[in-house]
């Protein structure tokens, strides 16, 4: 085999400087390894999904309970798992240490909520904390630790390939500077950690792997699935490719990332995000019932002007309800969907969630507090009557008028006869003008990528580990179809970042 010319070397090379990459780098360094981070974006302007996040993090309070919870979510039948029990065990062990680990780094953790999804066994072991300073603060803290340790960050440089020796071991990476175009090979004496995020901005991958198209994400546009390609070329097996933490999102051509709709308005926000759309919404609704009188009504309808779901849907899984395809008409009738509301919701402030994402810490768009700018842009359609609004949306007027009439009747009676929507949220639409915004399948992130085991080792198609290759973060996340709840992905970044960093730094040097 041709000898690889090395331009730089380290014990452990980390690809991607989001939360997972940063945690892996800190851990590998503290395990005694000389570590380098390679990051595609320019360090000064880098925008990671980790920094755009709301900073909510699962920190289980009980190991056995959290294992039960995860097994309930990822066991399909006795012989078939989305995620094997030993990987779940590693997740439970390490995520149970998340809070302590982050506090040991100087982070401040505030209890956000006790309990995961109430219908899942073991839910009471899932505590959810918010990192003070949210995703942005988390990344600032992690970066300060990287700097303190003098871990070099080779930025503006995209990893392009994993380099293997004749024994099939990963021995380094190829990368290219995005400014000068210079190519470099960086040797990794002990291991490489792939932490490049998902494929939220790779249209071809989304078309091939997700079950509905288009699908728009609130993530960083830098997440173009590079790690998936590099891992495939090195012989990795992929998993969870069809899985997403996703629901309905707003997307406008002028802003690269999708945005979270604040469906119920500020009286339902926690903050910026509609409680109605939260995971475990029904449980939370009880807490917020007192505020119900102040809440503005809304419904979500399909292209035929019909409701198709209980709008107390889970923010991270209603996505799966959008995949219904009409093979006679040759389109997805729920894509786009329409969020329909009245002047009361309009008066209630920002239609966008600002606690995370593009209109929040991502600072990709400055949404007007009274929504007037977005109305002028045509992102929000309006009509003095429901029929007039339907005309602007291209929906049959009789159909939308009938839907609103039925919905208003359910509100009057306090019972949703079609979808059993939470009674406290049955607020009629009756204050014209009426408004609508398109909603698309989408969410925070994809979960798919190279399959990993309990030691964060990336696996080949035959299930054997690719020597010296590790995975962390949302790239090849351990989460299958159902998301464990708010705070799942950052929890995994920290847990598997630590596992990958420890394991890579324990490898015998090549």
Ligand X SMILES: Cc1cc2nc3c(=O)[nH]c(=O)nc-3n(C[C@H](O)[C@H](O)[C@H](O)COP(=O)(O)OP(=O)(O)OC[C@H]3O[C@@H](n4cnc5c(N)ncnc54)[C@H](O)[C@@H]3O)c2cc1C
Hey, which residues between 297 and 356 contact ligand X (CB under 6 A)? 356
27 binds ligand X (CB under 6 A): no
Residue among 448, 446, 451, 452 at smallest CA distance from 499: 452
Q: Which is nearer to ligand X, 95 or 337 (CB)?
A: 95
- 446 beta partners: 244
Residue among 59, 63, 61, 81 at smallest CA distance from 71: 81
CB of 487 to ligand X, least distance (A): 4
CB of 16 to ligand X, least distance (A): 3
Stretch in the footprint of ligand X (CB under 6 A) among 162-170, 221-229, 272-280, 313-321: 221-229
Q: Which residues contact 84 (CB under 8 A, 6 or more apart)?
A: 453, 454
CA dihedral 325, 278, 351, 338 (to 10 degrees): 20
Q: Which is nearer to ligand X, 196 or 310 (CB)?
A: 196
256 binds ligand X (CB under 6 A): no
Hey, which residues between 30 and 89 contact ligand X (CB under 6 A)? 38-41, 46, 48-50, 52-57
Q: Which is nearer to ligand X, 290 or 366 (CB)?
A: 366
Residue among 268, 259, 456 at smallest CA distance from 345: 268
CB of 501 to ligand X, least distance (A): 13
User: Which one-letter DSSP state was computed for residue 223?
Assistant: -
For ligand X, the binding residue among 153, 158, 184, 244 (CB under 6 A) is: 158
Cα 421 from Cα 452, distance rounded (Å): 39
CB of 385 to ligand X, least distance (A): 35
219 binds ligand X (CB under 6 A): yes
Structure tokens at 353: 């969630």
Q: Which is nearer to ligand X, 71 or 474 (CB)?
A: 474
For ligand X, the binding residue among 92, 295, 389, 493 (CB under 6 A) is: 493
Hey, which residues between 98 and 157 contact ligand X (CB under 6 A)? 135
Contact status, residue 188 vs residue 173, Cβ threshold 8 Å: yes
- The single residue listed with the structure tokens 């198709």 is 308
- 434 beta partners: 342, 383
Tell me the C-alpha to C-alpha distance, in Å, between residue 133 and each of 20, 53, 140. 18, 10, 9
Cα 297 from Cα 426, distance rounded (Å): 7
For ligand X, the binding residue among 15, 296, 346, 499 (CB under 6 A) is: 15
For ligand X, the binding residue among 122, 197, 441, 484 (CB under 6 A) is: 197
**Phi/psi at 32 (5° precision):** 100, 10
Cα 112 from Cα 96, distance rounded (Å): 16
474 binds ligand X (CB under 6 A): yes
269 binds ligand X (CB under 6 A): no
19 binds ligand X (CB under 6 A): yes
- 327 beta partners: none
For ligand X, the binding residue among 35, 95, 98, 196 (CB under 6 A) is: 196
CB of 208 to ligand X, least distance (A): 19
- The single residue listed with the structure tokens 């890579």 is 504
17 binds ligand X (CB under 6 A): yes
Q: Which is nearer to ligand X, 20 or 466 (CB)?
A: 20
For ligand X, the binding residue among 10, 13, 14, 20 (CB under 6 A) is: 20
Structure tokens at 122: 């073991």
441 binds ligand X (CB under 6 A): no
**Phi/psi at 387 (5° precision):** -65, -40
Q: Which is nearer to ligand X, 53 or 411 (CB)?
A: 53
Q: Which is nearer to ligand X, 163 or 395 (CB)?
A: 163
* One-character DSSP codes across 142-195: HHHHHHHTT--EE-SEEEEEEEE-TTS-EEEEEEEETTT--EEEEEEEEEEEE-
CB of 8 to ligand X, least distance (A): 14
Q: Which parts of this chain interact with ligand X (CB under 6 A)?
A: 15-21, 38-41, 46, 48-50, 52-57, 135, 158-159, 195-197, 218-220, 222-223, 226, 356-357, 444-445, 473-475, 487-491, 493
């Amino acid at each position: 085999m041709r000898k690889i010319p090395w331009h730089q070397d380290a014990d452990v090379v980390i690809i991607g400087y989001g939360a997972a990459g940063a945690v892996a780098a800190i851990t590998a360094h503290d395990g005694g390894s000389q570590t380098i981070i390679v990051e595609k974006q320019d360090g000064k302007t880098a925008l990671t999904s980790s920094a755009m996040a709301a900073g909510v993090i699962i920190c289980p309070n009980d190991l056995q309970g959290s294992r039960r919870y995860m097994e309930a979510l990822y066991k399909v039948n006795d012989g078939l798992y989305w995620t094997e029990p030993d990987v779940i065990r590693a997740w439970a062990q390490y995520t149970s240490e998340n809070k302590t680990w982050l506090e040991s780094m100087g982070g401040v953790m505030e209890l956000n909520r006790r309990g995961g999804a109430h219908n899942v066994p073991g839910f009471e072991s899932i505590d959810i904390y918010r990192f003070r300073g949210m995703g942005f603060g988390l990344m600032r803290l992690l970066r300060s630790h990287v700097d303190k340790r003098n871990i070099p960050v080779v930025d503006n440089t995209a990893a392009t390939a994993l380099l293997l020796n004749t024994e099939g071991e990963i021995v380094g990476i190829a990368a290219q500077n995005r400014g000068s175009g210079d190519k470099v090979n960086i040797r990794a004496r002990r291991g490489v950690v792939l932490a490049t995020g998902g494929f939220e901005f790779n249209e071809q991958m989304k078309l091939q792997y997700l079950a509905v198209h288009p699908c728009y994400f609130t993530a960083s546009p830098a997440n173009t699935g590079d790690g998936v390609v590099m891992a495939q070329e090195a012989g990795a097996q992929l998993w969870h490719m069809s899985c997403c933490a996703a629901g309905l999102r707003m997307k406008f051509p002028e802003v690269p990332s999708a945005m979270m709709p604040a469906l119920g308005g500020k009286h339902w926000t926690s903050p910026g995000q509609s409680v109605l759309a939260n995971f475990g919404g029904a449980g939370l609704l009880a807490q917020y019932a007192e505020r119900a009188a102040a809440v503005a009504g809304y419904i979500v309808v399909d292209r035929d002007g019909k409701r198709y779901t209980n709008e107390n849907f889970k923010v991270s899984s209603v996505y799966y309800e959008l995949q219904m395809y009409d093979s006679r008409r040759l389109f997805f009738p729920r894509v786009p969907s329409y969020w329909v509301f009245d002047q009361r919701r309009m008066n209630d402030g920002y239609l966008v969630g600002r606690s995370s994402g593009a209109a929040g810490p991502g600072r990709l768009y400055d949404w007007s507090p009274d929504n007037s700018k977005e109305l002028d842009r045509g992102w929000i359609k309006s009509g003095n009557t429901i029929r007039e609004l339907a005309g602007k949306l291209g929906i049959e007027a009789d159909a939308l008028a009938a839907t609103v009439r039925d919905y208003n009747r359910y509100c009057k009676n306090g019972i949703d006869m079609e979808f059993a929507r939470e009674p406290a949220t049955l607020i009629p639409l009756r204050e014209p003008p009426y408004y609508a915004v398109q909603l698309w399948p989408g969410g925070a992130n994809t979960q798919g990528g190279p399959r990993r085991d309990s030691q964060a080792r990336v696996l080949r198609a035959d299930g054997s580990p690719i020597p010296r290759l590790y995975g962390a973060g949302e790239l090849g996340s351990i989460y299958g179809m159902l998301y464990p709840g708010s705070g799942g992905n950052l929890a995994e970044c920290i847990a598997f970042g630590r596992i990958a960093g420890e394991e890579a730094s324990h490898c015998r040097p090549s």
